[in-house]
């Protein structure tokens, strides 16, 4: 038995990536900081390395952890 990403999994990942960041269910503060930095979709967020997110204005360690965990729960990760 071999594992192949099914079309449904790929479709779901694409749908999540194209979704608004509200699907990440982040705190209002974290969401606002992301929006202020023109990060509106999950794809926008996952294209930014964690260290770069960390230096965004007023985005502290807890907010960064919140983003990383939420993204990982959806089977995605931040850029390196």
- Each residue's pLDDT, cut to its tens digit, for the chain (80 residues) gives 555 567 777 778 788 999 999 999 999 999 999 999 999 999 999 999 988 888 876 788 899 999 999 999 999 999 99
Q: Is the pTM of this model over 0.85?
A: no
Report the pLDDT value the prediction gives residue 3, as an integer from 0 to 100. Answer: 55
**Beta carbons within 8 Å of 77's beta carbon, 6+ residues apart:** 46, 71
CB atoms within 10 A of CB 29: 14
Task: Give me the sign of the Cα torsion angle 28, 33, 38, 44.
Answer: negative
> Considering just the CA atoms, what is the radius of gyration of the chain in Å?
13
């Amino acid at each position: 038995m071999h594992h192949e990403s099914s079309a449904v999994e790929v479709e779901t990942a694409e749908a999540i990536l194209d979704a608004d960041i509200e699907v990440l269910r982040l705190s209002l503060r974290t969401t606002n900081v992301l929006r202020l930095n023109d990060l509106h979709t999950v794809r926008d967020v996952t294209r930014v390395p964690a260290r770069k997110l960390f230096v965004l204005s007023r985005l502290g360690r807890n907010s960064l952890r919140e983003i990383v965990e939420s993204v990982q729960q959806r089977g995605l990760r931040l850029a390196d």
